[in-house]
Structure 1
Amino acid sequence: MLWKHTDEFTHTSEARRQRRLVVSFFTTVGNYDYGFYFYFYLDGTFEVEAKATGIVFTGAHDGGDDPYSTPLAPGLGAPVHQHMFCARLDMTVDGVANSVDEIDVARVPVSASNPWGSAIGRTMTRLSSESDAVRDADGSVGRVWSISSASRRNRVGRPTSYVLHPSSEPALFTADEAHQRRRAGFAAHHLWVTQYEPSELWAAGYAVNLHPGGAGLPAYVAQDRPLDGEDIVVWHTFGLTHFPRLEDWPIMPVDYAGFTLKPYGFFDRNPTLDVPRSALSCHSTAAEAPSCGADCTCGH
């Protein structure tokens, strides 16, 4: 469903069906297979979905109570692990000059302007430099990040923008001293924002297995370049924390992770108002032809 409304006073009903363009591919990395699906919706929403499947990595298991692994079969178990991805989003919201704000839902105390205590507010924090823009998701306050134009305004005078909705799954859980954290520093936080630089393409650095740690995003943001009104790149880390289960063996059903980018004040109104009604259902026999509507395309 794209949108729908039934008016109880005029006894009319309108509905439009959603469509989406899907661009996808699968890649095999060792024992796992990963699908990456990019969804483009009619209302300007953009969604990324990662699908993890394949064969879980197994080893010997004595069947005891090991807090770090799950028994899958007699003598066989799989360790608890994470699948971490990072999307490099070269943002150009109504031009290359963009800004990023962190938005949290905020409770509003009872006051003269909120006598019933039912108002819901929000706080907006401008991320003005690369060191300020290393951030984590927080589902308890519905945290999102707004990427807005520094020059364009919508019809109510606000900056045109797109909002990044993270999934709020945990970031990397390894110890600070673990070599995984040194080499995959990008996975320690959900959001990084950098000033655009053509050579900065890899969240974990150019040669992940050849550097001792600190390459990629930690090195990029160490330059602490300004972000407000600049040509920026938003990096979003997302993924899964996988406690293997019996149902994952011998081949794992698809598990999902992802995020959404939604227009927020980018359009002056609902951009799908011109989507036509769906054609009526076609009939399989000529005898049913009299019941066809004017929009029927069945050929009777």
Structure 2
Amino acid sequence: MEARNSWRFVLLLALVLLLTWLHLPSLPNSKFHSRWYIPKNTFYSSSPTYHHLESETPQHPLDPLTIQEFNRVRTILSSHPLFKSSSSYTLNSVVLEEPDKKLVLKWKKGDPPLPRKASVVAVVKRVSHVLTVDLEIGHVTSHETGLVSGYPMVTERDLYGVGEATLRCPEFNNSLAKRGLNLDDLVCLSLSSGGYEKLEEEENRRLMKVQCFSKEGTVNFYMKPIEGFTALVDIDSKEVLAVSDDGKNIPVANASNTDYRYSIQKLRGEMRLLNPISLEQPKGPSFSVDGHMVKWANWEFHLRPDPRAGIIISQVKVRDPDTSMLRNVMYKGFVSELFVPYMDPTEDWYFRTYIDAGEYGLQSMPLNPLNDCPRNAYYMDGVFASYDGTPYLQPNMICIFESYAGDIAWRHAEATVASLNVSEARPKVTLVVRMAAILENYDYIMDWEFQTDGLIRAKVGLSGILMVKGTTYENMDQVNLKRQETAPGESPRKSYLKAVRKVAKTEKDAQIRLQLYEPYEFHVVNPLKKTKVGNPVGYKLVPGATAGSLLDPEDLPQKRAAFTNNQIWVTPYNKSEQWAGGLLAYQSKGDDTLQVWSNRDRGIENKDIVLWYTIGFHHIPCQEDYPIMPTVSSSFDLKPVNFFERNPILAVPPNFEEDLPASKAHDSA
């Protein structure tokens, strides 16, 4: 099969500030509401080890909406004129509308609760509406429409409705029948149209493309596409507008060697199986979860599930070992957007330029205990709203666990002076918050990792299945390091590095494309607070491996995903600027993006700022990606720089044998 490229970009948004065991009434299960659940293809199931169920009483201003609050939103909306006048509407998003940042920062445990509000995005009669519902007074207090181009995330009803519409279409069924295909073996997927409206009659419609696959002989139906066969469907009217069938001569691949399930694999003699590995904690875990507040070692933060971002980490604080005070590090961090443009311009592929978070959302399927997360993990469920506002349960959506891979936090042994018998080492243990989002054939593993030395690592792992034709995917302060030349006779050295400080004063100053031979360090500092030595306290962004977009800036997909134009952006804090691809990303035209906001070139020096970082992958398919792709990962770090007076983990104790569970030594030990 011909291999084609595509790109994949993940934008992680961090608002950097420098300065539960509960029970619910029975809820519908997520498998009936997930955007990618296929009733005939539930390939595996697992029993969760723990459950976190949403509280009926919010304990923190940033806690997600409860079941009672979701139901109250439904009641309030049912009496609103917009919904009373139409029986045809969809609630595409119902989430907490966060209180003002200043109020959240001032709030302390034990204070009266802040007013609770819900943010609702709905489509009514083909028009997008953004509403604020005040849950205390029981009214809609804000209602806006026509703000920007585009539509909100599609719902499970949208996806199923489009699929059912094609199956009722005679032209669609006749074309499949002419190919001699068994309709019972078909799996048809509803795909974003990419914002392309080629004909006048397609304008002002929410559109989806439908493409089909055969699952005959395999669960890996992505390897058996019905190539050259695409339907265009109006999401709202359920009308099939066009059927393209130009691949009649392209055969459907056979199922040989496409199944990736363990039960199907044949173990070859030369394959040596690994003995199981498990992290044991005889004294129990070192972290605690109280509602949505997580405490571990010197860290404390708020954690909540979100249907669009997956995980939202808020009010991240670290304890200073010298003062014992909790210090603010990050107000809010989450995945803002994903961009997946396929590199194939042909009729059945050109539109595949997905803005995954904004078009489908990153709410994950249940994590698989012992495999997605280790034995010592704690699981947190999510409760979300279906298309009509009915709350439903998303079990095991997030896991939290301590990780130890034998890494070293710090060490030193003294060998220079014989009389100094010094050998010190400390194990590195970290806390990981994880989710896995399944979007069609791709799986995204999102980790937030906290280290005791004050470092935060945001990591993205990519796995899943190739989409074959064959095509896969391709997926502030600056310290500028310049080479300096020495004067003749000044030193045996001919060159060295010298740090030169440059302050980004406006947004355009902070639009940065990383370049290997122009090294920088990127610091976010508080110039009003300094260490005893006199350095401004701060954190620095440490980029990992990444890639840039190669699309033409005027190409529609690139306009919609303009956040990939740079790896680093800094903007002044604005509560409304959260989604890098725009609030309404589906079929958007690129008029409400991070690029548009940043081009205003607002001042950022000595401001409350937002740091944006883009992780990019270029993936050229290879045989090792078949039939399922090994996970490939990239990350970036937020690392303290002059934030502490010294190494914050000097007092971390070493491991002692008597504190650990019994372990059988290797024969050669």
Give the drift of 1:58: 1.1
- Kindly tell me: are residues 274 and 104 of structure 1, through their superposed partners in 2, closer, same or farther at Cα, counting changes over 3 Å? same
- 2:546 equivalent among 144, 165, 169: 169
- 1:230 equivalent among 570, 595, 607: 607
More strand by share: 1
- Kindly tell me: are residues 247 and 30 of structure 1, through their superposed partners in 2, closer, same or farther at Cα, counting changes over 3 Å? same
Contact 2:545–2:634 at 8 Å: present in 1 too? no
- 1:178 equivalent among 533, 542, 555: 555
Equivalent residues in 2 for 1:143-222, closer than 5 Å = 143-222=520-599
CA distance in 1, matches of 2:428, 2:490: 38
Which of structures 1 and 2 has the bigger CA Rg?
2
TM-score by length of 1: 0.79
Instruction: Note if 1:78 corresponds to 2:503.
Output: no
Equivalent residues in 2 for 1:125-136, closer than 5 Å = 125-136=502-513
CA distance in 2, matches of 1:118, 1:224: 37
Q: Over residues 58-82 of structure 1, what are the superposed CA-to-partner deviations in whole Å (9 max), with x where a residue is unaligned?
A: 11xxxxxxxxxxxxxxxxx225x43
Instruction: Note if 1:121 corresponds to 2:121.
Output: no
Show the counterpart of 1:288. Answer: none
Show the counterpart of 1:44. Answer: 454
- 1:27 equivalent among 425, 437, 440: 437
TM-score by length of 2: 0.36
State the AA in 1 paired with 2:638: L
CA distance in 1, matches of 2:431, 2:662: 29
- 2:618 equivalent among 216, 241, 260: 241
CA distance in 2, matches of 1:51, 1:283: 31
- Kindly tell me: are residues 170 and 270 of structure 1, through their superposed partners in 2, closer, same or farther at Cα, counting changes over 3 Å? same
Contact 1:137–1:144 at 8 Å: present in 2 too? no
Contact 1:130–1:226 at 8 Å: present in 2 too? yes
- Which consecutive unaligned segments of at least 5 residues does structure 1 have? 60-76, 84-99, 286-300
Show the counterpart of 1:271. Answer: 648
Contact 2:545–2:635 at 8 Å: present in 1 too? no
Give secondary structure in 2 for the equivalent of 1:220. helix
Give secondary structure in 2 for the equivalent of 1:242. coil
CA RMSD of aligned residues (A): 1.9
State the AA in 1 paired with 2:529: R
Equivalent residues in 2 for 1:8-27, closer than 5 Å = 8=415, 9=417, 10-27=420-437
CA distance in 1, matches of 2:546, 2:608: 28
- Kindly tell me: are residues 112 and 149 of structure 1, through their superposed partners in 2, closer, same or farther at Cα, counting changes over 3 Å? farther
CA distance in 2, matches of 1:44, 1:204: 30
Q: Over residues 127-166 of structure 1, what are the superposed CA-to-partner deviations in whole Å (9 max), with x where a residue is unaligned?
A: 1001221111122233231000121001210101111011
- Kindly tell me: are residues 255 and 16 of structure 1, through their superposed partners in 2, closer, same or farther at Cα, counting changes over 3 Å? same
- Kindly tell me: are residues 173 and 271 of structure 1, through their superposed partners in 2, closer, same or farther at Cα, counting changes over 3 Å? same
Contact 1:82–1:172 at 8 Å: present in 2 too? no
Give the drift of 1:176: 2.2
Equivalent residues in 2 for 1:285-300, closer than 5 Å = none
State the AA in 2 paired with 1:126: V
State the AA in 2 paired with 1:11: N
Aligned residues with identical type, % of pairs = 29
Q: Over residues 182-211 of structure 1, what are the superposed CA-to-partner deviations in whole Å (9 max), with x where a residue is unaligned?
A: 100001110111000111110111122232
- Which consecutive unaligned segments of at least 5 residues does structure 2 have? 1-407, 664-669
Give the drift of 1:173: 1.4
Aligned pairs, number: 251
State the AA in 2 paired with 1:45: L
- Kindly tell me: are residues 218 and 247 of structure 1, through their superposed partners in 2, closer, same or farther at Cα, counting changes over 3 Å? same
- 1:54 equivalent among 464, 483, 489: 464
Give secondary structure in 2 for the equivalent of 1:187. helix
* Deviation larger for 157-166 or 123-132: 123-132
- 2:486 equivalent among 93, 103, 110: 110
- Kindly tell me: are residues 119 and 113 of structure 1, through their superposed partners in 2, closer, same or farther at Cα, counting changes over 3 Å? farther
* Deviation larger for 265-274 or 171-180: 171-180
CA distance in 2, matches of 1:117, 1:268: 34
Which protein has greater RCO, CA pairs closer than 8 Å, 6+ apart?
Answer: 1
Give the drift of 1:112: 7.6
Contact 2:479–2:501 at 8 Å: present in 1 too? yes
Give secondary structure in 2 for the equivalent of 1:180. helix
Give the drift of 1:223: 2.3
Give the drift of 1:122: 2.5
CA distance in 2, matches of 1:50, 1:227: 28
CA distance in 2, matches of 1:249, 1:284: 40
- Kindly tell me: are residues 20 and 114 of structure 1, through their superposed partners in 2, closer, same or farther at Cα, counting changes over 3 Å? farther
- 1:101 equivalent among 477, 480, 483: 477
CA distance in 2, matches of 1:214, 1:132: 22
Show the counterpart of 1:252. Answer: 629
State the AA in 1 paired with 2:576: S
More helix by share: 2
- Kindly tell me: are residues 78 and 101 of structure 1, through their superposed partners in 2, closer, same or farther at Cα, counting changes over 3 Å? same
CA distance in 1, matches of 2:528, 2:565: 33
Contact 2:582–2:592 at 8 Å: present in 1 too? yes
CA distance in 2, matches of 1:244, 1:103: 37
- Kindly tell me: are residues 250 and 152 of structure 1, through their superposed partners in 2, closer, same or farther at Cα, counting changes over 3 Å? same
Q: Over residues 53-104 of structure 1, what are the superposed CA-to-partner deviations in whole Å (9 max), with x where a residue is unaligned?
A: 0012211xxxxxxxxxxxxxxxxx225x433xxxxxxxxxxxxxxxx21223
CA distance in 1, matches of 2:643, 2:661: 42
